[in-house]
Amino acid sequence: MGASPQNIDFAAAIPELDGARDVAGLDHGVTIRRDSYGIAHITASTEADAWFAQGYAAAQDRSWQMECDRRRALGTWAEAAGADARFAGTRAVAADILARRLRLHEAAQADWRAMSHDTRAMFEAYAHGINAFLQGGDPLPVEFQLCGIEPAPWEPWHSLALFKVRHVLMGQWELKLAYAQLALRAGVDSIQPFEADSPPGSTVILPPGAKVSALVDQAGADIRAAAESLGFLGEVQAGSNSWAVHGSRTTTGKPIICNDSHRALDVPSVYWQVHVSCPAFDVSGATFPGVPAFPHFGYNGHVAWNITHTQADYQDLYIEHFHGNDAPRYQAPDGWHAPEYRPERINVRDGEPVDIEIWGTEHGPIVHGDPRQGYAIALRYTATDRPGRQWECLRPMLHARTVEELHETQREWVDPVNSLVSADTRGNIGFLCRGRLPVRTSRAARRMPVPGWTGEHEWGGDVPFESHPQSINPPEGFVATANQRVIDSDEPYISSFWAPPSRADRLGELLGNGDTLDPSAVAAMQGDTTSVPAKRWIAHLQRFGPYSDDAERARAMLVGWDGDLHPASAEPLLYAYFRRGVMRSVVTAALGAETWDWLSSETMPSTGRILAHWLANIVAGLQGRFIEKTPASQPWADVLPTVLTEAWQAAATKAGPDSAAWRWADHHATAARHPLSFAFPGLDGALDPPPAAVGGDSDTLQCAGTSWSGANDFAITLLSVYRQVVDFADADHPGYVIPGGVSGLPSTHHFSDQLGHWQRHERIPMHRLPADVAGDTRHTLALHPRGD
């Protein structure tokens, strides 16, 4: 039984950040200095002590978030979240069922056993640091009191499980399920006009039969229910930006590297900033709290690196055929095999336990369906199908002195597949597609689930590291990634589904003209709110009309616009309704109102990605030419007046009849909720950060995506969660920012003290020089080894 919200003393849950402490597990001792934003700057005399202190500081700031993610990975979230009807209940249980079926804990333990001695020592020291804080007598975050739980000791492999659960639905698993459901609802032929290419292998992808159809629908329901609890897993319109400009293209003659990573907005923010220094390395950046080192974003004084999601295809779904009820066996090319099986129990806070069955085949764990019913779906996933050694990359990358050396450290990286962008003090910039790319024996599984019993759709190895796309100092003088297609060819195969090219196109406009660029202008691109698709729609609308009444009011406003979704302007609100209205009209005409309702409701998060993909294909067709008809063969001349009228009327209903008073910022803001806010409404938002209004949309570099459903127009559901800039003309003074603060404790100033900077596209100092750290130190904690 947890504590009542009324009995919680939020101020009492702040740990001590000053003084000296004796702790077990240290070799020589460390100093943790906190700057004016609460960010930890760790100084250690040994590498082991550095990792210990990183774990200790992470637990000081984010121990509840780490507990939450650990439970989500291990399938014990309902034990903490409970059975509240508004939040936990079936949602938390559904999340735990999916996590147990994924067997992420088994994969994490397998990775742990495969580690080298030195890498294992890093994770062990980090875990010791976490436990030293948890057991040190400091008050724990209020969430532990609310849920009535105590944190269990942190084991080193928990960090691996946490990392895996943060990425498992960033692959294409749920997208393939969404396409399968769409094909069953509307038919493959009906989908083809919206696709740049027909779904590969679509004629052989699904075995016939009502059981299979029902199975695919149930799989969608599984993910929908789980995603409500594992909100960070269901990225609505996933994307990130990164760019590096060579010194030959800058006014200073030095490179500059910038990035902003896009994810759903967690509370607290997914990334945690930290600076770790010891004789072996000196690195600043951000990582997941609970994971040592700097796998995504870092700067070691020589090389700066960041990542975007490559949108690679490294997850396949197999429809397995089972026979028998008491002891089901699954069909394989050489006969019937016994599956892996074990029963498990999920405990629920203030509720009855739930008993489940865990199954597996040669392709991987059964993630959807009941084998006793004849069919179920297995997942093969690079992060779980064999012991991974990507953790061996973490330490060497901290020692890299050049872009080339950094690339070489990434040979064993597995998941997720990233576009790694980097720059160094010697003037180099680079791009590497890092991660494991499976080689398949057929093309059929690229978009949808495939039969698992034929032996025709297997994995036949991996793309060699030497064949991964990479480039150092390209002749164009820049590298720009925004989740777009990596290479023109299909060899090696990376993916058949990419993010809409709008952000990449905008980077191309800004960087691809050959001009010499001021570094401040390059960094300011993080706040760019101009939409390439909006500009193409404007050109398209100029070819039509004039109309009358509301249709002409809408057309005139849009054709007089420059496509900048500035927060203070009126046009973005109208454009948002127009954009949705176009898709509703076209999809309804081609596939029916029921299919539109299903796609736009985003009951599966990936249906929003499909709509964004289709809209991008429509926009691509508008580029530089007149298109008479929609993909549904409707004349645009017939479609546009109705869409424009409805968009104007919707904007007027939302913001009032006076269009001069419309402001995008009044309707386009963050609305982040803590995972427990729904379970404990008596908190009255005490765990939630304040909202922040920004410009842009999902197509702009200042990414701020919203839902297609219209249920909460236009609350931001996807945004930049970490920005970093390293200008090598001033290499000792990089900057970074997150949409919140370094602390996960709502009662502290550092819970949201970076939000305003993030909203204004400002960065805070990433202090690296000892003098800068000393000059901005607000707290100092010395940890000394305790003699036991």
CB atoms within 10 A of CB 669: 19
d(CA 187, CA 493): 26
- Give the count of alpha carbons within 13 A of 618, CB side only: 26
Q: State phi, psi for 385 to the nearest 5 degrees.
A: -85, -15
> What are the CA-CA distances from residue 678 to residues 9, 82, 89, 691, 706 (Å)?
19, 11, 11, 17, 21
| 119 DSSP 8-state letter | H
Helix, strand, coil % (nearest 5) of the chain? 40, 20, 40
- Encoded tokens for 58: 């992470």
Radius of gyration of the chain (CA): 26
- Give the count of alpha carbons within 13 A of 268, CB side only: 31
d(CA 730, CA 170): 35
> What are the CA-CA distances from residue 28 to residues 48, 55, 59, 783 (Å)?
10, 16, 20, 9
Which amino acid is located at 230 in the chain?
L
| 765 DSSP 8-state letter | E
d(CA 674, CA 62): 13
> Can you give the length of the chain in residues?
788
Q: Judge whether 536 and 627 are in contact, CB under 8 Å.
A: no
The residues pairing with 422 across neighbouring beta strands, listed in sequence order, are 305, 430
Q: Is 746 helix (H, G, I), strand (E, B) or coil?
A: coil
Q: Judge whether 375 and 208 are in contact, CB under 8 Å.
A: no
Residue identified by tokens 């890093």 is 122
Q: Judge whether 295 and 479 are in contact, CB under 8 Å.
A: no
Q: Is the peptide bond before 714 cis (omega within 30 degrees of 0)?
A: yes
Least Cα distance to 58 among 402, 316, 255, 291 occurs for: 291
Q: Is 395 helix (H, G, I), strand (E, B) or coil?
A: helix
What angle, 0 to 180 degrees and rounded to 10, lies between the N-to-C axes of helices 173-186 and 210-229?
A: 130
Sheet holding 470-472, edge to edge: 19-23, 779-785, 30-34, 40-44, 272-278, 281-287, 297-299, 303-309, 418-424, 429-434, 470-472
What residues contact 646, with CB distance under 8 A and at least 6 apart?
577, 581
d(CA 610, CA 138): 47
Residue identified by tokens 């150092």 is 472
Residue identified by tokens 């100029």 is 542
Active-site amino acid positions:
240
The residues pairing with 472 across neighbouring beta strands, listed in sequence order, are 430
Q: Is the peptide bond before 200 cis (omega within 30 degrees of 0)?
A: no
What residues contact 467, with CB distance under 8 A and at least 6 apart?
492
- Encoded tokens for 625: 């030419």
d(CA 783, CA 15): 14
DSSP 702-736: S-EEE-SS-TTTT-EEEEEEEEEEEEGGGTT--EE
> What are the CA-CA distances from residue 295 to residues 52, 222, 389, 605, 640 (Å)?
17, 30, 13, 26, 47
218 Rama sector, left if φ>0, alpha if ψ -120 to 50, beta otherwise? alpha
| 623 DSSP 8-state letter | T
Q: Judge whether 43 and 31 are in contact, CB under 8 Å.
A: yes
